[in-house]
Amino acid sequence: MPTASSLTEARAAIRAGTWVRHTSGVADDHVQGNVVILPQALADDFLRYCQRNPKPCPVLAVSEVGVPMLAQLGADIDIRTDVPRYRVWRHGEVVDEPTDVTRYWRDDLVTFVLGCSFSFEQALLDSGLALRHVSEGKNVAMYRTNIETAAAGPFQGPMVVSMRPLRAAAAIRAIQITSRFPHVHGAPVHIGDPALIGIRELTRPDYGDAVDVLPDELPVFWACGVTPQAAITQARPEFCITHAPGAMLITDLLNHQLASF
Amino acid sequence: MPTASSLTEARAAIRAGTWVRHTSGVADDHVQGNVVILPQALADDFLRYCQRNPKPCPVLAVSEVGVPMLAQLGADIDIRTDVPRYRVWRHGEVVDEPTDVTRYWRDDLVTFVLGCSFSFEQALLDSGLALRHVSEGKNVAMYRTNIETAAAGPFQGPMVVSMRPLRAAAAIRAIQITSRFPHVHGAPVHIGDPALIGIRELTRPDYGDAVDVLPDELPVFWACGVTPQAAITQARPEFCITHAPGAMLITDLLNHQLASF
């Protein structure tokens, strides 16, 4: 599948199980989302967790109970088949990584779709900024921080951030651009010294791939949609489903539709 | 004069020569401006210099030739009397610092008023950010950089910047806020390592007063309206008048009117 594929091609390939990996650059005008699917008994707590932590957990859509369709995000989306790769969790451990969760579906499941930095990355690239992990074909570097999220029910834990190294003028421009996208993490949460948010070694990310930070660059940190997966690890729900990191739901929405001004 | 004085009180005191010092915090809802008054023969070059360097030299108004009134900025402004303290320059040297330039007025003079960071400082304070130089009652620290301005005619030279130390989250917020004010220097031009823009020692500003930069803070640098005074030093016009640094023209415009969104 070419990276600048159409939405129709991309969704068909993902649904057919022929595209099973990360979606960076796929149907790149379209909003992609982090996915969390939980039993109804935990859904209210999780929604309050998102409300209290809007930078890492910006909610794009919540499904009806037991309904796998997400009409707000696309007329024909079926959350059971339209993510390239899933993680199935039991008691906080990943027990399966299938490309289709139809056989795991339950009538009590509620789907949450959260904004993803792929949307603002496209805006950064469109503005002529270079992103090292993109040019090197890597996943973005992600780190657990010492910034505690606000708890709700069993959900709590550290904020996870993604890091992109930028020269100062580009960092300032990136802050302006991402401020326009509050539904996909918005402006950075930190810039500069990683130790101030509890990150010891930039060369050893907790998720994704390391990239160099050059002497004339600042590391710039955005809240990351992997944060709820860290909260799930701590909450240990008896059952839940997420996307596999980087393998996102591609929606019908356009990234430009999310810009706030 | 109380710092939260009314515009009417402030202008009357300045015009009467009873307020002869810096205007930080004076009539603080109102736009203040840097002033450059040049012979007509140099005015075209200076206007092109401003057009090419909009971050340090954002033009709020240009007068008619020989006319000391500035109706765009205030119905009764007379530029000969309404700045608290002036600098009179001959061949690039300051030869007088009067509180009234009526006796220096010439029929060939053109007045330029350029935006001033006092406008965005008010917006920063209104948002709950603390500015160390304000809380310590100092003038802001200003530095000549190795960023060359774009030349026009005889006008050229280094960009001058003002520096405010902020913690990372406050720096990000300050970038958002000042981006709304392109007519008063807009977003910062640099953040972080001063050496990258040719500043050797933060403790020794070229203009204004030094403030501490704490270990958990970043120095944030904005283009500064003192830049044209550095250009005048290099251009050495036979005659010109500016405001004395910090002693600004107070206009009828409201800071809120300058916000771009």
Same domain, A92 and A16: yes
Distance, CA of B176 to CA of B171 (rounded, Å):
9
Running DSSP on this structure, what letter comes out for residue B152? B
The pLDDT of residue A3 is 52
Please report whether residue A247 resides in a domain: yes
Task: Name the residue in chain B with its Cα closest to that of A216.
Answer: B196
Question: Which among B168, B175, B261 has the least Cβ separation from residue A192?
Answer: B168
CB-based contact (8 Å) between A169 and chain B?
Answer: yes
CB-based contact (8 Å) between B259 and chain A?
Answer: no
CB-based contact (8 Å) between B148 and chain A?
Answer: no
Nearest CA among A157, A118, A130 for reference residue A23: A118
Could you tell me the pTM of the whole model? 0.88
**pLDDT band with cut points at 50, 70 and 90 for residue B1:** low
Q: Which domain holds residue B64?
A: 7-116+234-251
Phi, psi torsion values for B179, nearest 5 degrees: -60, -25
Same domain, B12 and B110: yes
CATH number assigned to the domain comprising residue A140: 3.30.2040.10
Taking an 8 Å cut-off on Cβ atoms, the answer to whether A172 and B189 are in contact is yes
CB-based contact (8 Å) between A192 and chain B?
Answer: yes
CB-based contact (8 Å) between B260 and chain A?
Answer: no
Please report whether residue A2 resides in a domain: no
Please report whether residue B259 resides in a domain: no
- Residue B37 pairs in a beta bridge with B111, B241
CB-based contact (8 Å) between A146 and chain B?
Answer: no
Per-residue model confidence as pLDDT tens digits over B87-144 = 999 999 999 999 999 999 999 999 999 999 988 998 999 999 999 999 998 888 999 9
Taking an 8 Å cut-off on Cβ atoms, the answer to whether B171 and A191 are in contact is yes
Across the range B247-259, mean pLDDT stands at 92
CATH number assigned to the domain comprising residue B29: 3.40.1640.10
Q: What is the DSSP string of B209-260?
A: ------TTEEEEEEE-TTHHHHHHHHH--SSEEEEPTT-PEEEEEEGGGG--
How open is the CA angle A116-A121-A122, to the nearest 5 degrees? 110
Give the pair of three-digit tokens for residue A135. 């040019």
Each of the 261 residues of chain A gets a pLDDT tens digit; together they read 555 579 999 999 999 999 998 888 889 899 999 999 999 999 999 999 999 999 999 999 999 999 999 999 998 999 999 999 999 999 999 999 999 999 999 999 999 999 999 889 989 999 999 999 999 988 889 999 999 999 999 999 999 999 999 999 999 999 999 999 998 999 999 999 999 999 999 999 998 899 999 999 999 999 999 999 999 999 999 999 999 988 999 999 999 888 887
Same domain, B111 and B172: no
Taking an 8 Å cut-off on Cβ atoms, the answer to whether A187 and B172 are in contact is yes
Please report whether residue B23 resides in a domain: yes
Taking an 8 Å cut-off on Cβ atoms, the answer to whether A218 and B176 are in contact is no
Taking an 8 Å cut-off on Cβ atoms, the answer to whether A176 and B192 are in contact is no
Please report whether residue B61 resides in a domain: yes
Distance, CA of A214 to CA of B196 (rounded, Å):
13
CA–CA distances in Å: residue B60 to residues A35, B10, B51, B187: 49, 20, 12, 17
Please report whether residue B80 resides in a domain: yes
What is the least distance, in Å, from the CA of A181 to any CA of chain B? 12
Same domain, A139 and A178: yes
Question: Which among B171, B172, B190 has the least Cβ separation from residue A169?
Answer: B190
Nearest CA among A36, A234, A220, A59 for reference residue A149: A234
CA–CA distances in Å: residue A13 to residues A67, A250, B99, B123: 22, 12, 75, 50
Per-residue model confidence as pLDDT tens digits over B18-67 = 999 888 888 989 999 999 999 999 999 999 999 999 999 999 999 999 99
Same domain, B161 and B221: yes
Taking an 8 Å cut-off on Cβ atoms, the answer to whether A168 and B190 are in contact is yes
CB-based contact (8 Å) between B163 and chain A?
Answer: no
Please report whether residue B95 resides in a domain: yes
Domain total in chain A:
2
Nearby residues of A150 by Cβ (< 8 Å), 6 or more positions away: A49, A52, A53, A156
Name every chain B residue with its beta carbon within 8 A of the beta carbon of A171.
191
Same domain, B152 and B23: no
Same domain, B122 and B111: no
Question: Which among B187, B196, B216 has the least Cβ separation from residue A172?
Answer: B187
